[in-house]
């Protein structure tokens, strides 16, 4: 089984961190490859960055026709619907995966993400997935995504403090980390706060693996049907559906 994990931003150090977490979550014998596009934004912080990251994401999917499943390693589930239209293999977003996993172990969970501009996209996704009622609150730690990559950064302490506030003030029984760049913090944070802390990368790899094992693929009836053949203009000509 081959699972292709795509970080839709271009920051290679973050991709390496994501790859380590993905491989640790996979079963023995499962091949995990973590990649990122060579064009697009270095981080995805809000709707504007998201729009420019989708072409690179789709390009990476096109490079891996033999993959059994794909994981989109951006917590906003960037380009998830487009990706599902581009392949028959299962495509799992780390946000959706973490929400579902959290709902299986806690009545209420809170999300701790990076910047406040990410709160609305995450809340919209929770509503779309039918899980808004299970989320006590979406909180921002106000740590920029690239701040998670800075040596000596205070990011871990800042995120931990926000988690503790979520447990105290929101009535949350579990915490979902709202950024793939936080994946290396999950075990330390869980030990520190004394409550389940979920990393979407591990959750998504586990779900993607399960979908492949039971033989499920993305439905091509209606919503995720392949795009109709047409010629795109200008810089997007190379993405024209055949």
The pLDDT assigned to 144 comes to: 85
How far is 186 from 103, CA to CA, in rounded Å? 18
Q: How confident is residue 143, by pLDDT bands cut at 50, 70 and 90? A: confident
pLDDT tens column, 80-95: 999 999 999 999 999 9
How does residue 62 score in pLDDT terms, banded at 50, 70 and 90?
very high
Task: Give the three-state DSSP class for 130.
Answer: coil
User: What is the pLDDT confidence band of residue 121, given thresholds at 50, 70 and 90?
Assistant: very high
């Amino acid at each position: 089984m081959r699972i292709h994990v795509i970080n839709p931003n271009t920051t290679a150090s973050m991709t390496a961190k994501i790859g380590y977490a993905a491989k640790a979550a996979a079963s023995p014998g499962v091949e995990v490859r973590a990649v990122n596009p060579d064009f697009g934004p270095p981080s995805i912080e809000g709707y504007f960055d998201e729009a420019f990251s989708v072409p690179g994401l789709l390009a990476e999917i096109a490079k891996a026709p033999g993959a059994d499943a794909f994981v989109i390693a951006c917590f906003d589930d960037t380009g998830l619907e487009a990706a599902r239209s581009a392949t028959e293999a299962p495509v799992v977003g780390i946000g959706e995966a973490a929400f579902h996993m959290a709902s299986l172990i806690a009545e209420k969970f809170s999300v701790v993400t990076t910047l406040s501009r990410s709160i609305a996209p995450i809340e919209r996704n929770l509503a779309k997935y039918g899980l808004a009622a299970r989320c006590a609150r979406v909180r921002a730690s106000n740590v920029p995504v690239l701040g998670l990559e800075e040596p000596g950064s205070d990011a871990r302490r800042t995120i931990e403090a926000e988690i503790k506030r979520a447990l105290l003030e929101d009535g949350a029984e579990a915490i979902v980390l709202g950024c793939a760049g936080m994946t290396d913090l999950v075990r330390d944070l869980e030990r520190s706060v004394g409550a389940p802390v979920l990393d979407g990368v591990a959750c998504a790899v586990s779900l993607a693996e399960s979908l492949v094992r039971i033989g499920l693929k993305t439905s091509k009836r209606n919503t995720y049907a392949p795009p109709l053949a047409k010629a795109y203009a200008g810089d997007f000509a190379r993405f024209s559906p055949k």
